[in-house]
Chain A
Amino acid sequence: MLIPHPLLGLRDAQEFTYFGDASLLDRPDGMAEGASEQFHDYLYLRDNPAGEHQELWFHEQGDRSWLVVTRNTLTHEIFKVEFATDVALARRSAT
């Protein structure tokens, strides 16, 4: 698998470590009402779709950036790659 890094172009997936669903960016507020329930869902439950999946990859052996890769889990086709910081900031300003 080759991952089209936004700055570095096509990079071998071997240079990255995989972390999982990009929902892990949406950390619940620990002070909120029902936080323990929310943390359970956040940490342990997954949509795990067959098809389009947004996921976190860390360019450990490259520029050490965190990326959000949008990928098809049935074909391994990659649709979009963004910096995780950009995605997190966009999500934060949307809420």
Chain B
Amino acid sequence: MKYSAARLLWEGLTGHKGWGRTWRDPEPKTHYDVVIIGGGGHGLATAHYLAKVYGIRNVAVLEKGWIGGGNVGRNTTIVRSNYLLDGNEPFYEFSMKLWENLEQDLNYNAMVSQRGIMNLIHSDAQRDAFRRRGNAMMLHGAGAELLDAEQVRKEVPFLNFDNARFPIKGALVQRRGGTVRHDAVAWGYARGADQNGVDIIQNCEVTGFKIENGKVLGVETSRGYIGAGKVGVAVAGNSSKVMAKAGMRLPIESHVLQAFVSEGLKPTIPGVITFGAGHFYVSQSDKGGLVFGGDIDGYNTYAQRGNMPVVEDVAEGGMAIMPMIGRARLLRMWGGIMDMSMDGSPYIDKTHIDGLFFNGGWCYGGFKATPASGYAFAHLLATGSPHETATAYRLDRFKTGKMIDEKGVGAQPNLH
């Protein structure tokens, strides 16, 4: 069914009885051309582009829980393409372009809102670094603006400009950045994939691979064996667990990232604001809640909940740039398991096992990458060679010295 204003009007007049399911709930077949493990944003986007762009429609997405139950439904919904390094920026800019056309492509309201992202500057050195980043962004067509303190004050007067330790000196702004309704991204891609014949199979955990003579033949699941021509793994925080079943060790550690939302408030924050002297980012959802977060907890974990010290740290970051946040009450907080890579950048690559492909290492920034990640992974699965924007995301890049370390902190996943 096509969604439209006319349809909404008609359904409104007839008691909303005709909407039907958004996607089917099929029984798994015995064999698919491509099996995708993980029904998060990346797995579903991969299936959508495989079917729509590359014409491969005999595809299943296997999800151990429910669609949207992983990080795609847990993130703070920020999208941007403000990276510095050559390996990253064209990829994230490709993603931004896909976001800009996503709702038309999917015929689904994902509430893509280009309300802008503002990275605050607190020192001269930081201004130099951001100017350089802004230039890199402009070279790749992403657009960037450098604001001085007065310009920032005009846009967001409520910030604490004269904090004794971290005065606000300006900001790097990407007007095309913003937020997207995260659940709607999962549902929209699921619907798009389903309409092109992809089977979305929930409550189906992959428990092992069938590999013979260096080639993958299928997967063992909680709902029986499923044969596959190719297998693409996109399980985010569970990457090491799943790939261990194929005998692989990955350059990944799993860590928890927490997020927070306040009670609903009147419109206060126009776009996304990030603190440059600590780790804190905040935006306001369309329901009015302030959505914010900070650092990962910093130790290996698979528990989808964090500890209090990070809560305190995030609250301090909020109070430092935006003291009025102290008046808002916290409504909810939660955690998600991040696939932290060794250099802070992701992997979209084939493995040494024929037919087995891997997508992961998204750290805490994989939501914005969802469309490009799905597109590039579909490209790799369909053609066997990397998409032109994702050639740097190799699993063996630490051997060849070609790491993509945006922060320059080295092989220490909890520092990225």
Contacts and interface: CB of A to CB of B under 8 A. Distances in A.
A76 B303 contact: yes
A52 B147 CA distance: 49
Contacts of B249: 41, 45-47
B240 A13 contact: no
Nearest to A51: B302
B309 interface: yes
Interface stretch (A14-22, A25-33, A86-94): A14-22
Contacts, number: 65
Interface in A13-70: 13-14, 18, 20-21, 40-41, 43-50, 53, 55
A73 interface: yes
A1 interface: yes
Size bin of chain A's contact surface: 20 to 34
B252 A18 contact: no
Contact of A46 (B238, B251, B307, B399): B251
B414 interface: yes
Contacts of A76: 301, 303, 307
Contacts of A47: 240, 244, 249
B184 interface: no
Contacts of B300: 20-21, 48, 53, 55, 73
B299 A46 contact: no
Interface residues of B, number: 25
Contact of A14 (B309, B398, B399): B309
Nearest to A57: B299
A95 interface: no
B303 A73 contact: yes
B389 interface: no
Interface string A68-79: 000001111000
B306 to A, nearest CB: 10
A50 B253 contact: no
- Secondary structure of the A contact surface, majority rule: mixed
A13 to B, nearest CB: 7
- Secondary structure of the B contact surface, majority rule: mixed
Nearest to A41: B249
Contacts of A45: 249-251
B253 A44 contact: no
B298 interface: yes
B163 interface: no
A47 B299 CA distance: 14
A7 B130 CA distance: 46
B222 interface: no
B317 interface: no
A23 to B, nearest CB: 10
Contact of A48 (B250, B298, B399): B250
Nearest to A1: B307
B360 to A, nearest CB: 11
Contacts of B251: 44-46
B59 to A, nearest CB: 28
B250 A46 contact: yes
Contact of B240 (A1, A20, A40, A46): A46
Given A20-B412, A41-B249, A46-B252, A73 B398 contact: no
A40 B303 CA distance: 28
Contacts of B413: 20
B298 A18 contact: yes
B198 interface: no
B363 to A, nearest CB: 14
17 contacts: A13-B307, A18-B299, A20-B253, A20-B300, A20-B412, A43-B411, A46-B251, A46-B252, A46-B253, A47-B240, A47-B244, A48-B254, A50-B241, A73-B301, A74-B301, A74-B303, A76-B303
Which 7 residue pairs of A and B lie closest in terms of their CB atoms, listed nearest first? A48-B240, A50-B302, A44-B398, A45-B249, A44-B251, A18-B299, A14-B309
Interface of A: 1, 13-14, 18, 20-21, 40-41, 43-50, 53, 55, 73-76
Interface of B: 238, 240-241, 244, 249-254, 298-303, 307, 309, 342, 398-399, 411-414
Given A20-B253, A48-B252, 5 more contacts: A13-B309, A21-B253, A43-B342, A48-B253, A73-B303
